[in-house]
Structure 1
């Protein structure tokens, strides 16, 4: 699946706002997981919304923007329809889709490029994980967008029972970063679409960036029902 990376004024994008605290920033993998969860959970909470259906029916676009603690609090207050996802010390807000050219001023002024969190401690293994292509050396912001795209695609293409059970289990999510050889080998057994970037920022067009994987142990029966 190709990532949607360019927006015309009429097209819809989903804003994802990542908290990047100036004094005590969260670790990178926690931030990536929070951004991906914020995107998916926002959809799952209101999937019957016509804007969601229109957005998800095409090549769905996302914009990951960063905010310090003060501005992040303003976003929470300004958009009551938000979904807040927290993983460890990391937090991200997922919002419903909106026209690319009509982002509210509070969101439009937030920075997109150059978002970087420190490496920190990796997330513990989880039954469901997003796998990232480490050889691409993506910035945190780019990785957040790719991870969110992969998780959202998995949600769309998996059986409802699998997604509902994952939600009931508290949305456990891991993040793995693999070198190119291991990444491409694992992609053959991905649990959802393998994301291919359009190459408009940071990386070459057609680069494969992310996918979702399900642990082989099948710790709970519902994982057996996840689509391949």
Structure 2
């Protein structure tokens, strides 16, 4: 049911704004690498949607259904120390990749964002660009637009969109194999020429941003292979 809604993207006119809060763990001492944090974000976002609790009859189904039926907005915030520990008690899924952790929370009305989340900072989530290693076996590739500058927080939301939009394109067997790897993703930035070749391929899912922050409306930000 949730995958069908994601696949259709024929949302009705929204009367209430809903969003998925994404909490990025960025400690002051020993912060995570940018790539690992983005990969954790991509995995945790789709993990919420494919969690058994989001199935019909599950306790998460209605909040996820209502959110997916509209625009799949996400708001990434940073947390450290006690702030990070506090959000672990909220409904959601935490994924850790190479020491980088992100907790994607159950979507809520923006006006009802939990206090523990609302007080977290949206800005200041950027991290230096790093050189990722080899693509792990079984990981789903997500390519970032090399011509568009985005903060780590903005990109966390974008790769989360990409992993979600990719899921309905996979077979049941592929989804089970992906779930067994905690929805492992590999976030990479191709050359401009590689991007131009990929963006016109029929074998990719494109994320086109609504343009609320950082980029122009309609910008293609991420491609999922």
Of residues 134, 138, 154, the one that matches 1:124 is 134
Shift of 1:63: 0.9
1:128 Cα deviation from its structure 2 partner:
1.4
Which of 38, 46, 49 matches 1:32?
38
Give yes or no for contact 2:20–2:105 (8 Å, CA) kept in 1. yes
Once residues 90 and 189 of structure 1 are traced to their aligned partners in structure 2, the CA distance between those partners, rounded to angstroms, is: 31
Q: How much is the aligned-residue C-alpha RMSD, in angstroms?
A: 2.1
Distance change in 2, residues 1:192/1:99 (3 Å):
farther
For 1:181 and 1:14, how far apart are their aligned partners in 2? 33
Distance across 2 between alignment mates of 1:108 and 1:170:
27
1:199 is displaced (CA, Å) by 1.9
Q: Normalized against structure 2, the TM-score is what?
A: 0.83
Q: Deviations over 1:114-149 (max 9, x none)?
A: 411233341421441111012112111111111000
Find out whether 1:112 has 2:118 as its counterpart. Answer: no
1:226 is matched with none
What's 1:101 paired with? Answer: 111
TM-score (norm: length of structure 1): 0.82
What stretches of structure 1 move > 4 A for 4+ residues in a row?
A: none
Unaligned stretches of 5+ residues in structure 2: 1-6, 56-60
Distance, in Å, in 2 between the alignment partners of 1:177 and 1:35 is 16
The SS at the match of 1:24 is: coil
Q: What is the DSSP-based 3-state SS (H/G/I as helix, E as strand, rest coil) of the residue aligned with 2:147?
A: helix
Residues 106-115 or 33-42, more deviating: 106-115
Unaligned runs of 5+ in 1: 214-228
CA–CA separation in structure 1 for the residues paired with 2:164 and 2:119: 25
In 1: Cα distance, 2:196 partner to 2:76 partner: 25
The alignment partner of 1:135 has SS state of coil
Residue of structure 1 equivalent to 2:188: 176
Q: Report the Cα distance in structure 2 between the residues aligned to 1:184 and 1:54, rounded to whole angstroms.
A: 35
* 8 Å contact from structure 1 (residues 11, 100) kept in 2: yes
